[in-house]
Amino acid sequence: MRILIDFFPIALFVAAYKLYDIYTATAVLMAATVIQTGLIYAVDRKLQTMQKVTLVLVVVFGVLTLALHDERFIKWKPTVLYASMAIVLGAALWIWKKNFLQILLGSQLSLPQAVWARLTVIWVTYFLFMATLNGYVAALYSTEDWVNFKIWGYAFPIIFIVGQGLYISRYIGDDTPSKDAPPNTEKDAS
């Protein structure tokens, strides 16, 4: 069900583009993203940071696309989103020494510290790859080709999610401390 909610705005965007034009599709994308965000909030009673950032970027880049009648804004929105996420995750890990991925998902997954660090590097790499790929298609191909890329480009997140699941599956429930994790200094309370 969640994948359907995630796919909903892009499916409507592509359909509106095929039936009308990029500007109608942009307005549909904006409305669908607002509805998607509302659905996610209704189910989870909260929104993840990524969902909030996506909503803001879709609305801002959508408004710019419609107000300036310039399709480049909506075409570059994914590149900005992916690059921003890569920068935030990378800066947090390597500059601020915080693992935002672990902070966001740590309550749902119990993984060794070294795995969280590798997983964050994998996410940074994925986001940079997707930012570069979208930028390449947006800059060098027609709007029609870019919209078609949005359809078949969904293979990349699916492959990423499956690969990530396979990678972390061997660590789920592993309570042995990682050699990179700091030693437990708490005294036994008994």
Q: What is the pLDDT, as a whole number, of residue 175? A: 52
The answer, yes or no, to whether residue 121 has pLDDT greater than 60, is yes
* Alpha-carbon gap, residue 89 to 83, rounded angstroms: 10
Provide the pLDDT confidence category of residue 95 given band limits of 50, 70 and 90.
very high
Give residue 152's Cα distance to chain centre. 17
- Name the residue ranges covered by the structural domains of the chain: 1-68, 71-179
Based on the number of CB atoms within 10 Å of its own CB, is 128 exposed (0-12), middle (13-18) or buried (19 or more)?
middle
Q: How many CB atoms lie within 10 A of CB 170?
A: 9
The answer, yes or no, to whether residue 180 has pLDDT greater than 70, is no
C-alpha count within 13 angstroms, C-beta hemisphere, residue 143: 15
Q: What angle do CA 81, 87, 89 make, to 5 degrees?
A: 100
Q: What is the pLDDT, as a whole number, of residue 50? A: 84
The answer, yes or no, to whether residue 181 has pLDDT greater than 80, is no
* Residue pair 127/86 in contact by the 8 Å Cβ criterion: yes
